[in-house]
Structure 1
Amino acid sequence: MDNALLTVYRTTDYRVRLAPGGWASIHVDAALPAPLLALIGNRSWAFITAWNPGSQAQPRARNHAAQQNLIAALRELPRTVSIRPGLGVGVDWREPSFFVVGPDLNDIDRLAQQFQQFAYVHGLGKGAARLRLTSDRAPHGQAG
């Protein structure tokens, strides 16, 4: 993965739709906003998409179908407590996403690889949001 793509992932505004309306934004290496902390408690969470596998633009219909498959897979995970709609927002792009509470990293890693995503954002409880790389090639795991 090149540094430009890594920078895009790190600077994206990861927005989570709140139940009463509006959005809460997640930023890599920052603490979660209070409305999301109230939602997750001490559990693990992830912000993930199936949109544009391999960071390559895909037709809307293909992205939509992949996203439907991802939400079905998230619902089947035994530890899933909550799934909220999300939106990854970059300088000139947007990707529908999901904020999921409960699943562990192994489950999310597997789904990210299944849906050909190079990275996703995750955390645990009050800890900071972290960018996790999913490629089989180095670097793998936490993005430094």
Structure 2
Amino acid sequence: MDSTLLDTYRRTEYRVRLARGGWACIQVDAPLPTPLHALIGPHDWAFITAWNPLSRQQSRRQNHAAQHALLQAVRALPSTVAIRPAIGVGAQWREPSLFVIGPALAEVDALARQFQQAAYVHGLADGHARLRLSSDQPPRGQAG
């Protein structure tokens, strides 16, 4: 993965909509924000989107259709505990996303590949947020 794109992912704000309003902002390599701790409990979590596969701009119609398909796929996972609306916010873009609680890394890896996402953010319980590369090409897994 190109270092500029990797830096862009690291600088992105990963915002999760809170049940009582407002947002909690996840940052790569930082602890999970306190407002999300009770929601997460002991579970794995992931922040994922289906927008702009392979980091290439798609039409709004294509992105909405892909995001709807991702939501259906996440709902179909037996390990899903909860789903919260989310949005990835970069310097000059916004991508509707999902904050998903419950699925294991292997399940989210499969979704990322299915929806052609180069990376996603994940964590375990209230630990640090990590960027995970989903490419079949090395380096695969945790971004260093």
Match of 1:55 in 2: 55
Match of 1:132 in 2: 132
SS at match of 1:21: coil
Counterpart of 1:40 in structure 2: which amino acid? I
Match of 2:95 in 1: 95
Report Cα offsets for 1:82-118 as digits up to 9, x if no partner.
Answer: 0000000000000000000000000000000000000
Distance in 2 of aligned mates of 1:68 and 1:3: 30
What is the aligned length?
A: 144
Report Cα offsets for 1:27-83 as digits up to 9, x if no partner.
Answer: 000011111111001100000000000000000000000000000000000110100
Match of 1:36 in 2: 36
* Superposition CA RMSD, Å: 0.4
Q: What TM-score comes out, normalization by structure 2 length?
A: 0.99
- Percent identity over the alignment is 66
1:126 Cα deviation after fit: 1.9
Distance in 1 of aligned mates of 2:22 and 2:81: 21
Counterpart of 1:123 in structure 2: which amino acid? G
Distance in 2 of aligned mates of 1:87 and 1:61: 17
Match of 1:86 in 2: 86
SS at match of 1:36: helix
Match of 1:14 in 2: 14
Distance in 2 of aligned mates of 1:11 and 1:61: 27
Counterpart of 1:87 in structure 2: which amino acid? I
1:124 Cα deviation after fit: 0.2
1:15 Cα deviation after fit: 0.2
Distance in 2 of aligned mates of 1:99 and 1:20: 16
1:127 Cα deviation after fit: 1.2
SS at match of 1:35: helix
Match of 2:143 in 1: 143
Instruction: Provide structure 1 residue ranges, at least 5 long, that are not aligned to the other structure.
Output: none
Q: What TM-score comes out, normalization by structure 1 length?
A: 0.99
